[in-house]
């Protein structure tokens, strides 16, 4: 595959490769769109098997950020950085300073933040060389852990879908949560407080035990969660929860959770629609986290402190956008993921 043949390259404004021999930095920054504002998306550090694999990941993730930021009504475009290396062994302050210099060389076309393998401590080193770094600790603009905000958006989305698909309130339903890490645990607590019955699973036994103790949730093995007797299935672990393997086993009528890339592919979204299940598109319902980060970018850019009220207003707007997706899906008799993609592309064109 060459770069220009890759389906993932389509629509990108630019792709930037950085190599710093002194620190060993090998990084790619993909800028999908700056139509709505500077491109924003986290930096992932991963031991990619090849530069091609890193490039493919950067391209796929940056386009997804354009869609997510547009649907969260942010004045931000989509971009993503990947650093090639093992985050357990290859991190040095010099490497992240070199990454900061790379980000800075783009002159504000791309803002970076945390993603898999990258921590606030790493970003503090990048910040020494660039302003265009969010996800900071100990800074007036710092936005803190985005997970509670993500979970609040997901909670509202679950409530909306339950009302739409089942005509019920949360106190009348059972929700099966796959993965009770950061987002899943906060979501469990919010649903429990609203009176929902919970079934949970996680590969981490300590995580399930802690959440079950706080919420009275029933615990099932990880393999059994997709076929739990529940009204809602909330994927909050890794991607691909809805696939040819899990689709026939689903009992829930609503799929609404915080994980990214829940569908194994667009055909899985169509299959959900044809089975009459309501799917809340992942990058719409889980947009609370990027809204929180956007609050930090906004604060840094303006030289102000982080403003939780701005984040709260954007989160309200996000729930309305999800409602619009559901309305259009119903009136046009088309799957929600197709409507969301179309709305995101419309917003990018505008
Ligand atoms: P996390 O790592 O804290 O939690 C994920 C949990 O899933 C872990 O407890 C892990 O043990 C569990 N898990 C992994 N494989 C599993 C399996 N097969 N079955 C059951 N459980 C399994 O991550 P997080 O921050 O809570 O993010 C969860 C998902 O939400 C991810 O897909 C992430 O990309 C997405 N997301 C997170 C945020 C955020 O603000 N943290 C924002 C948007 C999207």
Average pLDDT, rounded, for the chain: 96
Mean pLDDT across 233-257? 96
Judgement on whether residues 52 and 85 belong to the same structural domain of the protein: yes
Q: Which residues line ligand 1 (CB under 6 A)?
A: 146-147, 150, 178-184, 201-204, 207, 222, 236-238, 258-260, 286, 289
Would the pLDDT of 92 be above 80? yes
Q: Are 179 and 58 in a shared domain? A: no
Distances 273 to 23, 160, 323 between C-alpha atoms, Å: 49, 17, 17
Q: Does residue 265 share a domain with residue 237?
A: yes
Judge if 190 and 337 occupy the same domain.
yes
Answer whether residue 21 is part of any domain: yes
Q: How many domains does the chain have?
A: 2
How far is it, in rounded angstroms, from Cα 298 to Cα 96?
23
CATH of the domain at 18: 3.40.50.10860
Q: Which residues of 178-195 are buried (b: 16+ CB within 10 A; e: fewer)?
A: bbbbbbbbbbbbbbbeee
Confidence of residue 144 (pLDDT cuts 50, 70, 90): confident
Please report the pLDDT score of residue 176 as a whole number: 98
Closest by CA to 91, choosing from 115, 114, 118, 113, is 118
- CATH at 153: 3.40.50.720
Q: Tell whether 184 and 328 lie within a shared domain.
A: yes
Residues 119 and 252 in one domain: no
Q: Which domain holds residue 341?
A: 148-285+320-349
* Ligand 1 atom at minimal distance to the Cα of residue 183: 26
The torsion angle over the Cα atoms of residues 102, 107, 109 and 111, rounded to 10 degrees, is 60
- Same-domain status, 46 and 158: no
pTM: 0.93
* Residue 138 domain-assigned (yes or no): no
User: Is 17 part of any domain?
Assistant: yes
Q: Tell me, what's the pLDDT at 296?
A: 96
Instruction: Report the residue among 67, 87, 182 best suited for mutation to probe ligand 1: largest number of ligand atoms under 8 A from its CB.
Output: 182
Instruction: Examine residue 194 and state whether it is found in any structural domain, yes or no.
Output: yes
Active site residue 80: yes
Averaged over 57-78, what is the pLDDT? 95
Residue 274 CA to residue 333 CA, distance in Å, equals 10
Compute, in angstroms, the gap from residue 183 CA to the centroid of ligand 1: 7
Does 335 reside within a domain? yes
13-30 pLDDT, tens digit per residue, is 999 999 999 999 999 999
Q: Are residues 111 and 179 in the same domain?
A: no
- Do 253 and 279 belong to one domain? yes
Mutate to test the pocket of ligand 1, among 64, 72, 148, 238 (most ligand atoms within 8 A of CB): 238
Assigned domain for 41 exists: yes
More confident residue, 3 or 291: 291
Same domain, 337 and 192: yes
Mean pLDDT of 89-109: 98
The answer to whether residue 136 scores a pLDDT higher than 90 is no
**Which residue is closest in CA terms to ligand 1's atom 8?**
181
What's the pLDDT tens digit per position in 267-323?
999 999 999 999 999 999 999 999 999 999 999 999 999 999 999 999 999 999 999
Nearest CA to ligand 1 atom 42: 289
Predicted confidence (pLDDT) at residue 260 exceeds the cutoff of 70:
yes
pLDDT band at 8 (very low <50, low <70, confident <90, very high): confident
Predicted pLDDT at 1 = 59
| Catalytic choice (80, 91, 190, 314) | 80
């Amino acid at each position: 595959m060459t770069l220009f043949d890759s389906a993932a390259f389509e629509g990108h404004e630019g792709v930037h490769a950085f190599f710093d021999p002194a620190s060993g930095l090998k990084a790619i920054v993909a800028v999908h769109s700056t139509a709505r504002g500077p491109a924003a998306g986290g930096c992932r550090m991963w031991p990619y098997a090849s530069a091609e694999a890193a490039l493919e990941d950067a391209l796929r993730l940056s386009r997804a950020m354009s869609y997510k930021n547009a649907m969260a009504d942010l004045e931000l475009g989509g971009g993503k950085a990947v650093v090639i290396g093992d985050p357990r062994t290859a991190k040095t302050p010099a490497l992240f300073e070199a990454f900061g210099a790379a980000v800075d060389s783009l002159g504000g076309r791309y803002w970076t933040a945390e993603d898999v393998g990258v921590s606030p401590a790493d970003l503090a080193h990048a910040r020494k060389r660039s302003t265009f770094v969010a996800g900071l600790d100990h800074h007036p603009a710092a936005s803190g852990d985005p997970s509670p905000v993500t979970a609040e958006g997901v909670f509202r989305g679950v409530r909306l879908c339950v009302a739409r698909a089942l005509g019920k309130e949360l106190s009348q339903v059972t929700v099966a949560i796959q993965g009770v890490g950061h987002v899943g645990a906060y979501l469990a607590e919010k649903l429990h407080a609203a009176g929902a019955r919970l079934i949970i699973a996680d590969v981490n036994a300590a995580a399930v035990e802690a959440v079950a103790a706080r919420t009275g949730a029933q615990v099932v093995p990880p393999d059994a969660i997709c076929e739990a007797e529940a009204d809602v299935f909330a994927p909050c672990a890794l991607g691909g929860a809805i696939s040819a393997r899990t689709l026939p086993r689903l009992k829930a009528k609503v799929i609404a959770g915080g994980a990214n890339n829940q569908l194994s592919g667009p055909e899985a979204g169509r299959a959900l629609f044809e089975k009459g299940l309501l799917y809340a598109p992942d990058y719409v319902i889980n947009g609370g986290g990027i809204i929180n980060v956007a609050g930090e970018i906004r604060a840094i850019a303006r030289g102000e402190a982080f403003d939780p009220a701005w984040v709260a207003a954007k989160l309200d707007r996000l729930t309305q956008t999800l409602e619009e997706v559901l309305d259009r899906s119903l009136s046009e008799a088309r799957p929600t993921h197709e409507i969301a993609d179309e709305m995101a592309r419309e917003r990018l064109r505008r």
